[in-house]
Amino acid sequence: MFQKKFLSAVFAVQIVCFLTLSAAVADVQSVKVKARAPNNKLVEIFYRVPANYDSKAKRLYRVLVLFGGRNGSGKNIVGNGFGFGAWADQNDIFLVSPTFKDDKYWEPEKWSGKALFDGLKEIKKKYNICDKKIMYYGFSAGSQCSNLFPAWRPESCVAWVSHGCGVFHSPGRKMVNCPGLVTCGDADIMRYILTRRFVDACRKLNLNILWKSYPNLPHEVPKESSDLARVFLAYHHEQNISDLQTGLHISGGEDRKLLYVGDDQENRFWPVTDPAAKNIEREDRVEFFTRQLALAWGSEAKPRK
């Protein structure tokens, strides 16, 4: 009996190891494009193909562009960076990350924006990706890219996320249909101050910005921040699923109905019908259309008796 249980346990461990290894071995490829920048004359852009990609599918596949720290390797980022691999497989999303080096690459209007979209065109020659409506995520220097690129071409952005950012675009009404999530640790002092100023400026213009801070966190990415980013991006991906239609009709996301309202200052949320929700100041007010996103952002307040 003991021997059978032991062998069963060993077999179970082998299965888990096999599945873990299979998930870790991603199909990462790259394309190279020319650019007009001294240190980036030939830019290599890496991409990860989702596990269930089907070339015969009557639809396009979403792209999430990932930007890591300054001069980060695109290969490392799409391979295992930020833990987006399993999520990308689950949502049938291509992960794309360019390897840029200096030359103010976070300013897309200079040269890097064209290089990125040229790279997407090359990938599209081989895979059925949607290069017209994409998403962005970035950390540190990469977080500058993940908000400056959408501001450069807001019509091409579905949603964007910046964590630990020190440079933001100037908020304007052109971003009204370009939802963003910004997160930062409050121990990352200068970036935290800059992020708060950016969020306040966006709120005054009624722009769609979700904000979350993490107590005592320095300049790093906590799991909670990545989890929130994935829920946020998945929601907007689904809401804009019609971007991916080709010949056949793909219905859009469900009609949005406001369910919860959160308070930035308290990191708590209430049902929209709760009297407390009506008393939240505009600059601190956060609106949620799904319970999953609300729970990823904060905690549910206890109903008043």
Structure confidence by residue, pLDDT tens digits, 182-206: 999 999 999 999 999 999 999 999 9
Check pLDDT > 80 for residue 63.
yes
The predicted structure's pLDDT at residue 295: 97
Mean pLDDT for all residues in the chain? 90
Strands 209-214 and 299-300: unpaired
**CA nearest neighbour of 234 among 51, 26, 87, 65:** 87
Token pair, residue 58, equals 């009557």
pLDDT in tens, 13-31: 444 444 444 444 679 999 9
CB 149 within 8 A of CB 136: yes
What's the rounded mean pLDDT across residues 42-71? 97
Distances in Å between the alpha carbon of 140 and those of 134, 246, 256?
Answer: 20, 36, 32
Domain ranges of the chain: 25-246, 255-305
CB 213 within 8 A of CB 67: no
**CA nearest neighbour of 92 among 246, 234, 299:** 234
The CATH superfamily of 25-246 is: Alpha/Beta hydrolase fold, catalytic domain (3.40.50.1820)
